[in-house]
Structure formats: structure tokens, C-alpha cells
Amino acid sequence: VSEYKVWSSIPLGRVLLVRLEMKKSEILKSEDNWFCRYARVTPLGGERTQTFPCYRWLLENDKLEIRDGT
């Protein structure tokens, strides 16, 4: 199980969707497909965390858009 954190230097407000994209790299080999259960967005001010359920495989050069499920 891996967890990845992405930071924003500006306030995002309410997020309507999250776009995930996997690009081939030296670190992620083509056989390293990724199963995403969900993505979470937590504002810096400690407001309500949004959860974006996914439960799908992300394959090489694949893109997914997932909507808020909370």
C-alpha cells in the first residue's frame, strides 16, 4: 500500500473532481499498474476533508476523473 501527498500553495476551495494520471517513468515500470481506492483532499485550514472514491485500476498512460463521494 502506498500513499502519495500533493500540496497546493494556494487555497483550492471546494474541489469538484480529481484527475489522476499515470505516466510511464523510470520509477513506474509498465508492469506497475496502480489500484486507487480513493483520493482525499484536506484544506490547509482544517476544513472538511473531501473523499473521492475510485476503486479502479490506473494503467500506464491512463487518466481518471473522479467526483466527490462524501
pLDDT digits over 22-59, tens only? Answer: 876 666 555 578 899 999 998 887 778 899 999 999 88
Cα separation of the two ends of the chain: 23
Q: Does 2 score more than 90 pLDDT?
A: no
Domain ranges for the chain, please list them: 18-67
- Cβ-based neighbours of 41, under 8 Å, separated by 6 or more: 12, 15, 18, 49, 50, 52
Task: Indicate yes or no: pTM above 0.85.
Answer: no
